[in-house]
Amino acid sequence: MKKKLYLLISVMTFGCTTIFAQQTDVTMPNMIPVEGGTFMMGNNAGSKDEKPVHKVTLNSFFIGEYEVTLKDFRKFVNATGYKTDAEQPDTFRRKHGLPPRGINNGSWKMNVNNSPVPTTDSMNPVGNISWNDAMEYCKWLSKSTGKTFRLPTEAEWEFAARGGLKSKNFKYAGGNILDDVAWVGKNSNSRSHTVGKKMANELGIYDMAGNVSEWCADWYGEYYYQTSPEENPAGPGNGSHRVLRGGSWANDEGRMRISYRNNEYPYNSARSLGFRLAIPGEPVVKKPAPVKADPMSDLDTKGFIDIYGINFDIGKAIVKAESFPVIEQITTYLKEHPQVRVMIEGHTDNTGKAELNLALSEKRAQSIRDEIVKRGIDSGRMETKGFGPSKPIADNKTAAGRTQNRRVTIKKL
């Protein structure tokens, strides 16, 4: 008797999901909602095809929590009898200027030693997959589930790898320490590994750095960034190579940065080439909540201003990205008033320990100053002071009874 499985269809609603059930014989992959928004794509310090950094705005979409695994791909092959490009006769390969099949261009069923992949590796990402193979898998899964599966565009891939609207501006997808987030040449033992064993990124997506390089939907264009449209770019209209992103278990650190671009013929494959799925999301980009009118105006009339709503990482004195609009307003004021010097007075939750309160509030003030310095303001124009806890603007207590303060006071000196 066939097992009755349920298809989980996630519908994005400002980061929340609604779950529906539908019977199917195909397992629905775990898909992560990525809320649409605007980000700066590329890297001016990278290779020439990563330049220039340019603004991109994307609609919401969904992307696979994991890379497609050997287990996933085997279901497709068992259901359809499909043979990958690498498994086609050598005459086909020679037609496209490729060498005969071997370790790097062999069957997805074979490992780097040219031996059958053991069943214990069934949750490793599938390799030796061409772009054509990935597209055939998407067509089959779409037909089987009724959902529109596809490869992510290059812009969608980079936005998701950066953490979307939750980005903390890490160097690699998920962190700044490569060994924590990626299987690469120095730690992989020259092979892929079970998906999801390294740290996820800010959106809960795994292995966007390392394990296998991932095909994107786009044709590759070396100078595409110079003419890329701002809204939902999908690559050049034609080309000879398709885009690959993320680096693999066979690569060094240089290929792990989020902005790194690679490319290959769509019919070519290698042990280290795989893919990740995507599904279209909402057709309209959600706009971030508008920032309140200039909160700095009272600084000229009163000489000080209390600002509420600057948030920090839990247990740390690191300003969250969601509070950057407020930081930008402070920075703008200081740029428009180059003679003004200010005191940044930090406040904090009441930890119950006076010394800790002062230390934490001072660090928060310093963190705000550091963010402003990053935006071009001389640190000599700002002093910092830790105030400790203060009476909240409203009765705003945690379950443990501690008062919560997200307040910073800016004073003219």
**Same domain flag for 309 and 401:** yes
pLDDT at 406: 58
288, part of any domain: no
Q: Which secondary structure element, helix H or strand E, spans residue 335, and what is its range?
A: helix 324-336
Nearest to 133 by CA among 84, 64, 94: 84
Contact assessment for residue 148 and residue 284, using Cβ atoms and an 8 Å cutoff: no
Contact assessment for residue 240 and residue 279, using Cβ atoms and an 8 Å cutoff: no
Distances 130 to 95, 235, 243 between C-alpha atoms, Å: 16, 18, 11
285, part of any domain: no
The structural domain count of the chain equals: 2
pLDDT at 86: 86
**Same domain flag for 75 and 164:** yes
Integer Cα distance of 182 and 198 in angstroms: 6
Tokens of 112: 């780097």
Supply the CATH number for residue 264's domain.
3.90.1580.10
Nearest to 46 by CA among 185, 181, 225: 225
**Same domain flag for 182 and 305:** no
Tokens of 336: 């428009």
289, part of any domain: no
**Same domain flag for 342 and 201:** no
Question: Which of 252, 280, 308 is where one domain is finished?
Answer: 280
Question: Which of 280, 313, 338 is where one domain is finished?
Answer: 280
Integer Cα distance of 29 and 69 in angstroms: 10
Question: Which of 215, 245, 280 is where one domain is finished?
Answer: 280
Integer Cα distance of 339 and 329 in angstroms: 17
**Same domain flag for 356 and 244:** no
pLDDT at 160: 98
Contact assessment for residue 369 and residue 379, using Cβ atoms and an 8 Å cutoff: yes
pLDDT at 200: 95
- Tens of pLDDT along the chain (413 residues)? 333 333 333 333 323 332 223 333 678 899 999 999 999 999 999 999 999 999 999 999 999 999 999 999 999 999 999 999 888 877 766 777 766 665 456 789 877 777 788 888 899 999 999 999 999 999 999 999 999 999 999 999 999 999 999 999 999 999 999 999 999 999 999 999 999 999 999 999 999 999 999 999 999 999 999 999 999 999 999 999 999 999 999 999 999 999 999 999 999 898 999 999 999 985 433 344 444 456 677 777 778 887 766 776 655 677 777 678 778 888 888 998 899 999 988 877 666 777 777 888 888 888 889 989 998 999 999 898 887 765 443 333 444 444 445 578 888 88
Q: Is the backbone of residue 129 left (phi > 0), alpha (psi -120 to 50) or beta? A: beta
Domain containing residue 370:
297-412
64, part of any domain: yes
pLDDT at 67: 98
**Same domain flag for 79 and 196:** yes
286, part of any domain: no
158, part of any domain: yes
Beta-strand (E) ranges in 14-171? 16-20, 23-24, 31-34, 37-41, 54-58, 61-64
Rounding to the nearest 10 degrees, give the CA dihedral for residues 249, 252, 254, 259.
Answer: -10
170, part of any domain: yes
pLDDT at 114: 73
**Same domain flag for 16 and 137:** yes
**Same domain flag for 238 and 366:** no
**Same domain flag for 397 and 322:** yes
**Same domain flag for 267 and 220:** yes
**Same domain flag for 18 and 163:** yes
Supply the CATH number for residue 405's domain.
3.30.1330.60
382, part of any domain: yes
pLDDT at 387: 77
Longest dimension (CA), the chain: 81
Nearest to 87 by CA among 73, 105, 111, 63: 105
DSSP annotation of 370 reads H
**Same domain flag for 345 and 248:** no
Intra-chain end-to-end CA distance of the chain, in Å: 78
Distance from the Cα of residue 312 to its chain's centroid: 20
